[in-house]
Amino acid sequence: MWAELYRLKKMADAVSDSNCIIHTKDGAIRGYVDKQDNSTYYKFKSIPYAKPPLGSLRFMPPQSTAPWTEVLDCTKDSPVPVSIGRGIKVTGQEDCLYLEITTPNVKPTKPLPVMFWMSSYGFAFLLEEIYDPTLLNDQVEELKVRSEDDIMTAFFEITNEHFLDDGTYIDAVLKPCIEQEFEGQQAFISKSPHSIIKSSNFNKVPIIIGSNNNEALVLDYIKNDYYDYKKINENVKLLVPRPIARDDNLANVIGQKLLKFYLGGEEFLSEDTKNQYLQLISDYYFVYYVNTTVKLHATYAPECPIYYYVMSYSGEWILPEDLVFFNGVGHHCEIPFIFQITIPGSPPCKGSRDSVKTRSRVIRMWTNFAKYGNPTPDDDDPLLQIKWDPIENENKLNYLCIGSELTKGRNPFSERMAFWDDLHKQHSFLKFLCCLQDLGITC
């Protein structure tokens, strides 16, 4: 009943307003006025920015949309890309190249800062229908893109790996595609991101980047019985990420190293070592590469500030059962601290006092960064009461720990990151030795 009353109230508040018509280079668009908590927001949905990628345009570079003459109705939700949504249901369509814009002012006296959100998790999952940017729009203009083409080539938010039924890992097929360059054919990414950064041939801008404290904790919600410690103890190779070692002998060596390091000298997993296992998975598939990316940017774009964070606060949000994974420190659990979680037709999900305060702090820092390129420009901000220091260099990685309070540190997870650095170096050398042995050369 309450959900229906809320829906009717929202319909009454979402007033169609003749002032909510904007003239773009392609034609006029009409949005609507949304009033929430004594604030007014202007929303425009289903704004086409390219021709639908259908027929001969499928898998081709986006083509500019044709201009229109009548006022385009942009008050309804746009189609989503083909994706997996709530309830693990496949939904969406290929005709999905649309923008969604929310702004507190359609006639600003000067340009507003913009936060640009690109959808998708792992190029497959989509939950954007529950992300409400209202709190962000008190500070900046917010723009969403529901673009299959952009999603598939430009940005990803979740792990690049997927599980096989036997609990092992495989390299994901759902990741940015490095295209070959052909004459007359546009290519979006023709080199690996690592190579692009090392070439210094990229747009150098200030960055906020970070990870959650235990990214792999999300596995508790997306895969049953993933922690088969008995099977791993019988075959330690199952513990080794596939990209690290494909040779059986090498995988055994690395597997034993992983066990000893993460179990503090022990050589077998047990019911009580699940947290250590999750930390191992978090470090390799998430944290280590975030840390490596930070170091690369510090080396090849030292002129641009990098603000590094670790999210350690476990949210306390009142959520439907299928969304309780947001309450934790696993992958994408920072989302409720940026967006309100709002189930269509219902009021925003509420949270504990500390959760709401932490969300206010995160939104303040993220919107400050959008406006000033600095998340804490005011040393006397009573909400934040801290100065977020950018990293100094690749060896002095200052970071902000976002917990129930904001604290500062340097070189997060340094011992674990050093372990993976050493393992990669040893791995490369061991692979070289294996190649020599295959050729009959002994050292």
Q: How confident is the model at residue 41, as a pLDDT?
A: 86
* Phi/psi at 36 (5° precision): -140, 135
Q: How confident is the model at residue 399, as a pLDDT?
A: 98
Q: pLDDT at residue 152 above 60? A: no
What's the full length of the chain, in residues?
Answer: 443
The residues with which 396 forms a beta bridge, in sequence order, are 393
**Is residue 43 a contact partner of residue 133, using CB atoms and an 8 Å limit?**
no
Looking at residues 50-75, what average pLDDT do you find?
Answer: 92
Q: Which amino acid is at 326?
A: F
Higher pLDDT among residues 53 and 241, named by residue: 53
Q: pLDDT at residue 303 above 90? A: yes
Residue 58 is encoded by which pair of tokens? 């499928």
Q: How confident is the model at residue 430, as a pLDDT?
A: 56
Q: Where are the domains of the chain?
A: 13-157
pLDDT tens by residue, 334-374: 999 999 999 988 889 999 999 999 999 999 999 999 999 99
Residue 172 is encoded by which pair of tokens? 């994901």
Q: Is 72 left (phi over 0), alpha (psi -120 to 50) or beta?
A: beta
Q: How confident is the model at residue 286, as a pLDDT?
A: 92
Q: Is the pTM of this model over 0.95?
A: no
Higher pLDDT among residues 366 and 246, named by residue: 366
154 pLDDT band (50/70/90 cuts)? very low
